Structure 1
Amino acid sequence: MLSDLVEITIEKTLEQRYAVKFCVKLNKTPKDTYDMLKDAFGDVCMSYSQAKKWHKSLREGREDVNDEARSGHPSTSRTDEHVT
């Protein structure tokens, strides 16, 4: 089911962000952090640019690994109604 896939993807994303946070606490470089993520998560690993972004943000003091709230409409919506 699609909602299960989305949940798994969100879970894997958060796991990787926590892994980056752990690496930052160990003073790992962004490259070392990404290499460890690739070893641990394989094909579902975040991109190097995302790993660098999170590494920098967490190194600069960010504590929360969740996405920040955004304004505007959600990018997707779900309805059981058929539009004609």
Structure 2
Amino acid sequence: MAEKSGFEALKTGSALLKKGTFAEKVEQRAVIKFCVDIGKTPTETHKFLKQSEKHSKVSRSLIFKWHKRFADGRDSLADDERKADHLLENPML
């Protein structure tokens, strides 16, 4: 197998630093939702996710946020839609 050039290795490394793919986020939320469904507390859910190498990097605050959403009755695993305010034209351009 050919060795990667410095640039290719850098691209690969920076890709690993990104915050997970959409599919990974949805999978993590599904696990959190499952934990809510079986009655685990946010702390128990956090400990449960930390046991998995794949999900061990999920932040405690994110787990608590999604745990509360699901406990409050949310069903969707998808992100909330964002407002389009950031798409307004910049008058400085």
Query: TM-score w.r.t. structure 1 length?
Result: 0.71
| 2:58 corresponds to 1:49 | no
Q: Deviations along 1:36-79, whole A, 9 cap, x unmatched?
A: 11112255x310000000000100100001001101247xxxxx
How many residue pairs were aligned? 71
CA RMSD, 1 decimal: 2.3
- Matched residues in 2 for 1:42 and 1:56: separation? 18
Query: Which residue among 21, 28, 32 is the counterpart of 2:40?
Result: 28
Call closer, same or farther: CA 1:57–1:42 in 2, change over 3 Å. Answer: closer
Q: Is the CA contact (8 Å cut-off) linking 1:17 and 1:65 kept in structure 2?
A: yes
Which has the greater radius of gyration?
2
Call closer, same or farther: CA 1:70–1:22 in 2, change over 3 Å. Answer: same
Stretches of structure 2 that go unaligned for 5 or more consecutive residues are 1-10, 88-93
Higher RCO (CA-CA < 8 Å; seq separation 6+):
1
The equivalent of 2:71 in structure 1 is 59
The equivalent of 1:78 in structure 2 is none
Amino acid at match of 2:82: R
The equivalent of 1:80 in structure 2 is none
Stretches of structure 1 that go unaligned for 5 or more consecutive residues are 75-84
Q: Is the CA contact (8 Å cut-off) linking 2:28 and 2:55 kept in structure 1?
A: no
Q: Secondary structure of 1:65's partner?
A: coil
Runs of 4+ displaced beyond 6 Å: none
Identity of aligned residues (%): 37
Call closer, same or farther: CA 1:38–1:27 in 2, change over 3 Å. Answer: same
Call closer, same or farther: CA 1:63–1:42 in 2, change over 3 Å. Answer: closer
- Matched residues in 2 for 1:59 and 1:30: separation? 10
